[in-house]
Structure 1
Amino acid sequence: MVPILIGRIQTRLFLLALVGSLVTLVLIPLLPVPGSLSERYRVAFVVLAAVAVLGIAWEALYHLLMQFRWEKDWPSLFGLLTGVPEGVLLWLLLRAGAVPLIDTVPPGWAFATHFAVVWVVVWLVANGPMRVPFLRWRFRGGRLV
């Protein structure tokens, strides 16, 4: 079964909250960015929250675009590649000062590294290990609740 809109949103939020947070906890201390570790974590988790909030709007847009496809779904690789426009938009919003709670914009390479690593790991978990603990996830349209 093709994941329905609410199922994709639930899955995205769940994976960003669980997997994205764990990846962020491990990755941020490894990035040589100026500032205290607590400030770097604060900025990284605000960026992660912004990805989650923007993701709801993106999912609605993807849902609209999928209505023009015969099978009403993207190939799995498209799910990975959708990170590119999402990352670019978030970066532009950060640079424009449109993301609340962020005073200093992280360096571009640090943002790109954090965003890309979280995106790829979340995508990999959604397309593999996610199906083990949630056996009926696919048959419930991607809904977790």
Structure 2
Amino acid sequence: MAGLPVRRAETMVPTLAGRIQTRLVLLAVVGSLVTAIVTPLLPSGVGYRDTFGVLLAVAVLGVGWELVYHLLMQFRWEKDWPLLFGLGTGVPEAALIWLLLDHHALPGLAGPPPLGAFLLHFSAVWLAVWLVANGPMRVPFLRWRFFGGRFG
């Protein structure tokens, strides 16, 4: 096929920009869907304002987390985490969100929901986002991983 331009893959390791884009897109799409489904199952008194407020906090603070993860990955040979580590990163993120909720440090939220409700919602969203990122998302976005996790 002489004469046809060849576009080389940039990287198979997600870049910082790619990880941030992926996080925000998946939280907006998958996270919103899971939040809409889970919220009615939570105890009374926990409404959509609370759960979507937590989801927004996870998205905003997640950009900061990505900067921390990027710094830590510079010490790894592959510059990437093992697959299950991505799932485990939800633990410190959940702890930070809960701490901020408990100290009334998240604007727009009156205070923390019951711990069980928070853990159910956060865990459901985190697991769904992680599963979609590591499975079904690779079908419609075939070139996603070749562009460092960016969508464009």
Q: Please indicate the TM-score interval, normalised by the length of the shorter structure.
A: over 0.9
Query: Following TM superposition, where does structure 1 have runs of at least 4 consecutive aligned residues deviating by more than 3 angstroms?
Result: none
Give SS of 2:27's match. helix
- Residues 102 and 111 of structure 2 are in contact (CA less than 8 Å); yes or no, is this contact kept in structure 1? no
List runs of 5+ in structure 1 lacking aligned partners. none
> Is 1:24–1:114's contact at 8 Å kept on the other side of the alignment?
yes
Distance in 1 separating the partners of 2:25 and 2:39: 20
Is 1:23 aligned with 2:34?
yes
2:64 match:
57
Q: Pick from 126, 130, 138: which aligns with 1:123?
A: 130
Q: Which has the larger radius of gyration?
A: 2
Q: Would you say 1:94 and 2:94 are equivalent positions?
A: no
User: CA offsets, 1:99-142, max 9 Å, x none?
Assistant: 00001321111001100010001000000001011111000000
2:23 is matched with which residue: 4, 9, 12? 12
Q: Residues 15 and 122 of structure 1 are in contact (CA less than 8 Å); yes or no, is this contact kept in structure 2? A: yes
Q: Which has the higher helix share?
A: 1
TM-score by length of 1: 0.95
Q: For 2:44, what is the secondary structure of its paired residue?
A: coil
Tell me whether 58-67 or 25-34 shows the greater mean CA deviation. 25-34
SS of aligned partner of 2:129: helix
Report how many aligned residue pairs link the two structures: 141
Question: Are 1:9 and 1:56, in contact at CA under 8 Å, matched by a contact in 2?
Answer: yes
1:32 aligned to which of 43, 66, 74: 43
CA distance, structure 2, for counterparts of residue 33 and residue 85 of structure 1: 27
Cα displacement (A) at 1:60: 0.3
**Counterpart residue type for residue 72 of structure 1:** K
Does the 8 A contact of 1:10 with 1:143 survive in 2? yes
Residue of structure 1 in register with 2:139 after alignment: 132
Same amino acid, percent of matched pairs: 68
* 1:45 corresponding residue in structure 2: 52
Are the aligned partners of 1:33 and 1:110 in contact in 2 as well (CA < 8 Å)?
Answer: no
**Which blocks of at least 5 consecutive residues in structure 2 are unaligned?**
1-11
SS at match of 1:74: coil
With the length of structure 2 as denominator, give the TM-score of the two structures.
0.91
Q: Distance in 1 between matches of 2:23 and 2:64?
A: 12
